[in-house]
């Protein structure tokens, strides 16, 4: 059982929205998972809501360590920005978990802090030193004779078989370092479905320009969970860097809904290995100021002003977190795609873009190109 704690206004709003979320035809067409038997039991938007709550509302024995108990506050503006992308190493596998509730069993996982946890306790390396942007940083996998193969793969993480779908550019030769993009699906769905043209559709914009990986969350319904998925990310990144030619200066993460929450978590706890993040319809990181965050990341965020699942204010809080963390001003200028703006005054290499749309909790059509244009500009 979870330790008793207070419920934040944001959680109450989310639960209220989940309870009355309608089953819209557009949501089904866009987000229908490949296993319709599960979804038939409940509206898809309800399943999304349950999933991201399971992933982001956890248990914690540390005061202030619960990732959802604390409001989405901001990192200190005085923190030193501008770490050199080229100096970002690969995080070690098997970092200690953050708090969170199991999506499939409903039981509490080991009670420990999420974003508020001190980085040294979860195996993060120290923040990279500041400096100017560096050229590509080839991983250990560059030059290997055995080339990675696109398709479904498995990886053992702490005795659990994890799955993911890998896409390697058609021109990949094992000697040229490619950017690596992690794409985290929404609750109730899968990496394979997020990969499809009916959902994330990221292959449409970056198929031949990046190594793209769509991992699968655990649970029924599936949802991202800090306790088990931070170690999964660490292990998968280490494995891909060792067995394929990755540009370690340009490792990125994006995700939707539950995957958007997890992407924000990674931006905070794995900012030493990620260059930038792109959470969509998500929230967090839920930590006071800069506590528990490591390194720096640029951020591209999108949120529906009429999102019935994750309140718009939750997305705004995420935006404000990264604005503060990256030293940005409130002045904006329009950028492509049309609904997006970029904030002025951000630390060099730590841009923040914000895209407001009217497509509810859906993954917006402009996201694939908008995200990739942002990533490759860094």
Q: CA separation (Å) from 269 to 146, 178, 214, 220? A: 32, 23, 20, 26
Regions in the chain scoring below 70 on pLDDT: 1-134, 288-291
pLDDT at residue 1, rounded to an integer: 41
Q: What letter would DSSP give residue 149?
A: -
Run of H or E including 313: helix 312-325
Half-sphere exposure (CA, 13 Å, Cβ side) for 83?
26
Question: What phi and psi values does residue 217 have, to the nearest 5 degrees?
Answer: -80, 165
* CA–CA distance, 263 with 285 (Å, rounded to integer): 9
pTM: 0.68
Instruction: Spell out the domain ranges in the chain.
Output: 9-88+95-119+147-376
C-alpha 360: how far from its chain's center?
A: 19
pLDDT at residue 287, rounded to an integer: 76
Indicate the angle between helix axes 258-269 and 312-325, nearest 10 degrees. Answer: 20
pLDDT at residue 145, rounded to an integer: 85
pLDDT at residue 326, rounded to an integer: 93
Residue with tokens 């506050």: 73
CATH no. of 9-88+95-119+147-376: 3.40.50.1820
* CA–CA distance, 227 with 96 (Å, rounded to integer): 8
- Report whether 292 contacts 118 (CB < 8 A): yes
pLDDT at residue 207, rounded to an integer: 87
Cβ of 347: how many Cβ atoms within 10 Å? 20
């Amino acid at each position: 059982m979870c330790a008793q704690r207070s419920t934040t206004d944001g959680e109450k709003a989310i639960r209220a929205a989940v309870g009355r979320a309608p089953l819209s035809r557009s949501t089904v067409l866009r987000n229908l998972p490949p296993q319709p038997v599960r979804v038939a039991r409940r509206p898809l938007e309800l399943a999304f809501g349950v999933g991201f709550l399971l992933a982001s509302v956890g248990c914690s024995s540390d005061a202030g360590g619960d990732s959802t108990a604390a409001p989405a506050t901001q990192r200190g503006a005085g923190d030193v920005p501008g770490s050199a992308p080229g100096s970002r190493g690969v995080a070690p596998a098997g970092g200690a978990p953050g708090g969170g509730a199991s999506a499939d069993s409903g039981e509490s996982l080991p009670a420990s802090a999420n974003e508020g946890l001190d980085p040294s306790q979860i195996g993060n390396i120290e923040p990279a030193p500041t400096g100017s942007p560096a050229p590509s940083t080839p991983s250990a996998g560059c030059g290997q004779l055995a080339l990675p193969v696109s398709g479904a793969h498995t990886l053992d993480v702490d005795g659990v078989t994890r799955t993911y779908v890998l896409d390697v550019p058609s021109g990949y030769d094992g000697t040229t370092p490619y950017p690596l993009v992690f794409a985290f699906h929404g609750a109730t769905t899968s990496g394979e479905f997020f990969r499809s043209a009916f959902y994330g559709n990221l292959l449409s914009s970056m198929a031949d320009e990046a190594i793209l990986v769509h991992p699968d969350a655990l649970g029924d319904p599936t949802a991202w969970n800090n306790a088990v998925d931070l170690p999964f990310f660490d292990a998968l990144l280490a494995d891909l860097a060792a067995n394929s030619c990755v540009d370690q200066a340009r490792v990125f993460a994006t995700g939707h809904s539950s995957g958007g929450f997890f992407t924000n978590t990674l931006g905070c706890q794995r900012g030493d290995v990620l260059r930038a993040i792109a959470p969509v319809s998500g929230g967090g990181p839920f930590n006071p100021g800069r506590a528990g965050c490591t390194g720096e990341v640029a951020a591209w965020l999108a949120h529906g002003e009429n999102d019935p699942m994750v309140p718009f204010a939750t997305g705004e809080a995420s935006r404000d977190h990264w604005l503060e963390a990256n030293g940005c001003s409130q002045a904006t200028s329009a950028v492509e795609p049309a609904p997006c703006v970029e904030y002025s005054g951000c630390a060099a290499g730590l841009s923040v873009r914000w895209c407001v749309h009217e497509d509810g909790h859906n993954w917006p059509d402009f996201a694939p190109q908008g995200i990739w244009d942002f990533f490759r500009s860094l």
